[in-house]
Amino acid sequence: MKKTWFKELSVYQIWPRSFCDGNGDGIGDLKGVLGKLDYIKSLGVDAIWFSPLYVSPQKDYGYDIADYRNIAPEYGTMDDFKAVLEGAHARGLKVVMDLVVNHTSDQHEWFKKSAAGDPKYKDYYIWRPGKGKDGKKFPNNWMATFPGDGWQWNEQRGEYYLHLFAVEQPDLNHDNPAVREEVKSIMRFWLDMGVDGFREDVITYISKREGLPNGFPLPVMRGMEHYSPGPNIHKYLLEYRQVLKDYDAFQLGEAPMMTPENALKYITEGDNQQLDMMFQFQTMEADCFIVSYIRTKFNLLKLKRVYKNWQTKLYGKAWNTNYLENHDQPRIISRYGDEKNYRVESGKALATMYTFMSGTHFIYQGQEIGMTDYPFKDWSDFTDVATFSAKRLMEKTHLFSKKKLFENCAYAARDNARTPVQWNAEENAGFTTGTPWFHINPNYKDINVAAAEADEDSLLNYYRAILALRKQYKDAAIYGRYEEKLGRNKHIMAYDKIADDGSRLTVIINLSSKTVSARGARKCVPKGAVRLIGTYKWSLADMMKPYEAHVYYTAAPQAKQ
């Protein structure tokens, strides 16, 4: 497998609104980021990915962009951004921007002109007349991803427009060559400034089937088979790919519902490659059924199958990404770990699980200190449009009692990941000197960066140590071949990562709150292996304690002689 700088990165994701407030207005900003660059560097990561920083009415917290070439005033100015970019580069940190071009905000000037029928912009979006005698019926039966109708009537234009997300996020018409030129020009704008790559928001949705036929009558995401993917997706992505020829940068596509087989159509290395890697969602589905608010018990066997699939099917052909959290996912310890009894241990076990897999590695702000979900009590506690639309849809189905519906939505809420980062035990967790824009998790007195810095055994220091090991043993950890062990064990995850020279890392983790037999696990440790790190100080004994994790290293056969 070709070795490339971006394959080796560990990327720290910043969701700017909740990272750190530098000017006391209660909202995270670029000044706040600037002050934390040394902290970010100290983690041992190599890059920062910024969720959207652009001008936006913030209906979907930045994923509704009104101006692709300017910074949202609440986050600072373009000069502030340039200072962060320079500061990051000076510390050897790459900078990745979010490219959100499936849709814009309805406040983007393109949309305003399109609604007004301006000839240049009239086909920038997907407009259709209403159907039926009164001309008011939807053009088709598609639904938006945030549960609800996929169409919105626009009085000025006298037509419906398609929106696959919120009503305020009209979908761009990528079939229009002028729109594709705009996308390329936005990419060049940021690349010329010196950014090192893009995370491309729901990029697999940008092509829609001609004629926009009705979708299969499903209760959620109806119509998806006609745009995920659409007929011209590979053509358009290849076109956008051309832009990168002039830069040393990478493209990462967000890809809901993606399987390894389909991913290979986008990311197989070679002339037809359209993206460098993708964010798949399957590893985030071990505690739910298709959509996050239909909850199931955490199922390690399901998770292991998914990892094995992606690790082995892409091996030698294409590149993986590995993440446990982001701004759309609740906190991982609250989902796959045990927040109540083994917060730190389960955090370490989960960190160990994914850090030695092949792929570019991602950490979301606060994950490194083991932040947990917010204790939501009432619907008024939420702020995210996705939660309210899920509530509306689920109410219609009558599938759940009121109480269960609330619990499910609270469990799945993206707001869990969006509470401010807890920096210290002082007022507002050190996030702001003003009034925080959103709730601060009441556990901040115990869970915060300052406390984690002071504790040698903290999750934070564990992340630092395993990130260093990932680099030190990169031929096995980053590029090695994945071999699953104990595939049918419901509590233990174990695998080898084998480098080309035969050296290997062996990872063994009890991913449960139970003490389990270590008999099978012990057999996985090769003779002569050296233990590198683990969640507890001891070596593998007869029993494995809850969330006990180990990483062993075995040198290459010839090196042993």
In the region spanning residues 343 to 362, those forming contacts with ligand NOJ, defined by CB under 6 A, are none
To the nearest whole angstrom, how small is the minimum distance from the Cβ of residue 60 to ligand NOJ?
A: 5
Complex with ligand NOJ: residue 100 or 540, whichever CB lies closer: 100
The backbone torsions φ and ψ at residue 194, rounded to the nearest 5 degrees and listed phi first, read 115, 10
Minimum distance from CB of 170 to ligand NOJ (Å)? 12
Closer Cβ to ligand NOJ, 332 or 518, answer by number: 332
> Taking CB under 6 A as the criterion, which residues in 288-317 touch ligand NOJ?
none
**Nearest approach, Cβ of residue 103 and ligand NOJ (Å):** 7
Residue 136 neighbours by CB under 8 Å, 6+ apart: 130, 153
Beta-strand runs (E) in 133-290 = 143-144, 148-149, 151-154, 159-162, 197-200, 250-254, 277-279, 288-289
Q: Which of 244, 231, 142, 138 is nearest to 187 (CA)?
A: 244
Q: What is the C-alpha to C-alpha distance for residues 467 and 472, in angstroms, rounded to an integer?
A: 9
Site map (CB under 6 A) of ligand NOJ, residues 231-270, x = contact: -----------------------x----------------
Write the burial class of residue 462 (CB in 10 Å: 0-12 exposed, 13-18 middle, 19+ buried).
buried
Least distance in angstroms from the C-beta of 23 to ligand NOJ: 25
Q: How far apart are CA 123 and CA 280, in angstroms?
A: 31
> Binding of ligand NOJ at residue 54 (CB under 6 A)?
no
Binding ligand NOJ (rule: CB under 6 A), the pick from 21, 29, 60, 325 is 60
CA dihedral 472, 474, 477, 479 (to 10 degrees): 180
Phi, psi (deg, nearest 5) at residue 296: -135, 170
> How many whole angstroms separate alpha carbon 306 and alpha carbon 300?
10
Instruction: Give the shortest CB-179-to-ligand NOJ separation in angstroms.
Output: 17
Write the secondary structure of 22-55 as one string of H (helix), E (strand) and C (coil). CCCCCCCCHHHHHCCHHHHHHCCCCEEEECCCEE
* Binding-site size, ligand NOJ (CB under 6 A): 9
Nearest approach, Cβ of residue 144 and ligand NOJ (Å): 10
Residue 364 touches ligand NOJ, criterion: CB under 6 A: no
**Using CB under 6 A as the criterion, what x/- string covers residues 161-180 for binding ligand NOJ?**
----x---------------
Give the separation between CA 209 and CA 216, rounded to whole angstroms: 14
- Give the nearer residue to ligand NOJ in terms of CB position, either 202 or 466: 202
As measured in angstroms, the least distance from the Cβ of 70 to ligand NOJ is 18
Provide the residue type at 160 as one letter: Y
Q: Give the nearer residue to ligand NOJ in terms of CB position, either 60 or 548.
A: 60
Q: Which is nearer to ligand NOJ, 21 or 201 (CB)?
A: 201
CB of 328 to ligand NOJ, least distance (A): 5
Residue 2's nearest CA partner among 387, 317, 344, 438 is 317
**Scanning the structure block, which residue is given the tokens 């890059």?**
47
And the tokens for 192? 């010329």
In the complex with ligand NOJ, the residue whose CB is nearer, 163 or 295, is 163
C-alpha–C-alpha distance, residues 420 and 437, integer Å: 9
Tokens matching residue 453: 């810095």
497: three-class secondary structure by DSSP:
strand
How far is the C-alpha of 541 from the C-alpha of 525, rounded, in Å? 12
Residues 6+ apart with CB under 8 A from 343: 333, 337, 370, 372, 447
Nearer to ligand NOJ, 382 or 552 (CB): 382
* CB 259 within 8 Å of CB 229: no
Shortest Å distance, C-beta 156 to ligand NOJ: 24
Q: Which is nearer to ligand NOJ, 27 or 525 (CB)?
A: 27
Catalytic residues: 201, 254
Closer CB to ligand NOJ, 110 or 479, in the complex:
110
Residue 151 or 462 with smaller CB distance to ligand NOJ: 151
Reduced to 3 states, what is the DSSP secondary structure of residue 108? coil
* Residue of 69, 61, 63 whose CA lies nearest to 195: 69
Q: What is the rounded distance in angstroms from the CA atom of residue 255 to the CA atom of residue 41? A: 29
Q: Which residue is nearest to ligand NOJ (CB)?
A: 63
29 sits near ligand NOJ (criterion: CB under 6 A): no
Closest approach, Cβ 268 to ligand NOJ, in A, equals 24
Q: Rounded CA gap, 18 and 444, in Å?
A: 14
Starting at the edge strand found earlier in the chain, the sheet holding 197-200 runs 277-279, 250-254, 197-200, 94-99, 47-50, 10-14, 360-364, 321-322
Q: CB of 151: closest distance to ligand NOJ in angstroms?
A: 17
Give the per-residue contact string, 79-108, with ligand NOJ (x = CB under 6 A; - = no). Answer: ---------------------x--------
Q: Which is nearer to ligand NOJ, 327 or 335 (CB)?
A: 327
CA atoms of 192 and 184, how far apart (whole Å) = 12
Q: Build a one-symbol-per-residue string for 185-214: x at contacts with ligand NOJ by CB under 6 A, - elsewhere.
A: ----------------xx------------
Neighbours of 468 (CB within 10 A): 12
Does 328 engage in binding with ligand NOJ (CB under 6 A)? yes
Q: Is 63 in the site for ligand NOJ (CB under 6 A)?
A: yes
Note the residues at the interface with ligand NOJ (CB under 6 A): 60, 63, 100, 165, 201-202, 254, 327-328
